[in-house]
Amino acid sequence: MRSFLYGLIVLCLVFAASCSKDDSLIDDNSNQSTEARGLVDSGIWYVNLFSDDGNDQTDYFSLYQVKFLTNNVITATSGNTVISGNWSNITDSGKKKLVLSFPANNHFDELSEDWEIVINNNNNIKLKHISGGNGGTDLLELGRNPLAINGNNGTTTNNSGTITGQWKVTRYLDKDRDRTSYYAGVSFDFKSAQVITATKGTSITNGTWRSYSDSGTQKLDITFPAANKLYELNEDWEIISQTTNSIQLKNVSGGNGGISYLDFNK
């Protein structure tokens, strides 16, 4: 009997040790692995808010569909434009964070931060980042539905009947270089869903456009894929003049202060 009881006690101790070991492994990895599984292939997200130290810049991102993919790849897609970056989950000083990294040649680079996760569920991701410089707070919110276009200051507007429709480039001065001939024979169609198509013969290239107000200045933002000369039109153009049949634009370079001009006519 003593031999049986001794064997039973040893068996129980081994089982308890095994359970304790399994529990510790789950605790060590639960934070990061659970969050990663929740975002990978979680479907389409939209940027519903991006506030850069109190400045609402949501309109830069409102037309893009965001997806968290495997291998820590994140994509932002609008029409034929696809911007790829990286994402990861970390724990920093006890705070759960979502780290985003995008290339430096587009607006999405502004989202490249280690964001503290405020809310993360199936329908909402709310993040914040406190700058190490001036202590300003950035806010980023993702939701399942695109932000409603309301025409208020700082948001996208359609300008129906003026910008929408088919146009020709009648002048493009890149600083002091006349490059109007690049777009000879190209028809630009500003569609109502903020899609722009450039057609020449049987060749069609899709991009995106949006009209918005920035600090009281009306602007027209144009984005085309980088594989052709249409990419040179990718700027946030200041609207100098806009009528039913004419749009005159300019852009002041942030580098050397050179000025480019772009004119569309019907």
Please state the domain count of the chain: 2
Q: How far apart (Å, rounded) are the C-alpha atoms in residues 226 and 57?
A: 23
In the chain, alpha helices (H): 2-39
Q: What is the pLDDT of residue 160?
A: 35
Q: How far apart (Å, rounded) are the C-alpha atoms in residues 136 and 52?
A: 8
Confidence of residue 189 (pLDDT cuts 50, 70, 90): very high
Q: What is the pLDDT of residue 214?
A: 80
Q: What is the pLDDT of residue 2?
A: 55
Q: How far apart (Å, rounded) are the C-alpha atoms in residues 116 and 151?
A: 31
Q: What is the pLDDT of residue 242?
A: 82
Residue 104 shares a structural domain with residue 196: no
Give yes or no for residue 194 having a pLDDT over 90.
no
Residue 152 structure tokens? 């208020």
Chosen domain end from 92, 112, 143: 143
Q: Give the SS3 label for residue 200.
A: strand
Residue 135 shares a structural domain with residue 90: yes
In a domain, 218, yes or no: yes
Q: Give the SS3 label for residue 225.
A: coil
Confidence of residue 28 (pLDDT cuts 50, 70, 90): very low
Residue 250 shares a structural domain with residue 179: yes
In a domain, 68, yes or no: yes
Spatial contact of 144 and 48, defined as CB atoms under 8 Å apart: no
What CATH number is attached to the domain comprising 122? 2.40.128.270
In a domain, 21, yes or no: no
In a domain, 149, yes or no: no
The string of pLDDT tens digits covering residues 88-125 is: 999 999 999 999 999 987 789 999 999 999 988 888 89
Q: How far apart (Å, rounded) are the C-alpha atoms in residues 146 and 59?
A: 11
Residue 184 shares a structural domain with residue 232: yes
Residue 169 shares a structural domain with residue 139: no
Give yes or no for residue 150 having a pLDDT over 60.
no
Q: How far apart (Å, rounded) are the C-alpha atoms in residues 75 and 224?
A: 16
Q: By residue range, what is the domain housing residue 210?
A: 165-265
Mean pLDDT (whole number) for 165-181: 90
